[in-house]
Amino acid sequence: MAKWYLIRHGETEWNTLGKYQGSSDIPLSSKGIQQAEKLKEKMSSISLSAIYSSDLQRAYKTAKPIALSHHLSIQPLDLIREINFGEWEGYTAEELKKKYGKSYEQFSKEPFAYNFPGEGSLNNVQKRAKKAIEIIQKNHSTGNIAIVAHGGILKVIIIELLGWDISFYKQFWLGNTSISTIQLKQNGKHILAHLNDMGHL
């Protein structure tokens, strides 16, 4: 049996400003770096078999302290990059409402039902998430696996693993350096052990 530790990256300046980051390669803030160190301490008692990370620096640099403390090499995986929001990136929700009006408002209410710039739809994101899940499962059928990525793609991965409807995307939130733990069963009936654990902060 495998156990996956799904971890969101540390805080960035754009997080504090409420800007859409998406595929933009935004660095960790000083607070985000501190959060990554606290996360490392939290993960220190867990024997990890592997650590995967998005290739965007805010995720990779969150993963690095964990990897170093466990003497593991990070396995970068572009399939777990954040959702690409195209021309929306760099804007806050309020700015997007003013600039794009109804098209953004529809998405913000029902992101699973409306298209958006960049990646196009959550259906496309689901396809990417499934590929990432397949690769990691193929490489690691057992052991504790850390996966450091981004709020949007991690929510889609959780939804896929647990067999939830994509409409659940709006029903939960993942904080910076939060840990969500899922026990993977051979029968496919995976178990959510923890969601959005931020007790280390």
Question: What mean pLDDT comes out for the span 103-111?
Answer: 91
pTM flag (> 0.85) = yes
Q: How does residue 113 score in pLDDT terms, banded at 50, 70 and 90?
A: confident
- The pLDDT, as a whole number, for residue 89 is 98
9 has catalytic annotation: yes
d(Cα 36, Cα 8) in Å, to the nearest integer? 10
Spot the catalytic one: 9, 70, 140, 194: 9
pLDDT per residue as tens digits for the range 66-91: 999 999 999 999 999 999 999 999 99
d(Cα 160, Cα 143) in Å, to the nearest integer? 20
Spot the catalytic one: 71, 150, 194, 200: 150
Specify the 3-state DSSP secondary structure of 159. helix
d(Cα 19, Cα 88) in Å, to the nearest integer? 9
d(Cα 90, Cα 116) in Å, to the nearest integer? 15
pLDDT per residue as tens digits for the range 122-164: 999 999 999 999 999 999 999 999 999 999 999 999 999 999 9
pLDDT per residue as tens digits for the range 27-71: 999 999 999 999 999 999 999 999 999 999 999 999 999 999 999
The helix (run of H) or strand (run of E) holding residue 127 is helix 122-139
Question: What mean pLDDT comes out for the span 104-113?
Answer: 91
- The pLDDT, as a whole number, for residue 112 is 86
CATH number among 3.40.50.1240, 3.40.190.10, 3.10.129.10, 3.90.226.10, domain 2-197: 3.40.50.1240
150 has catalytic annotation: yes
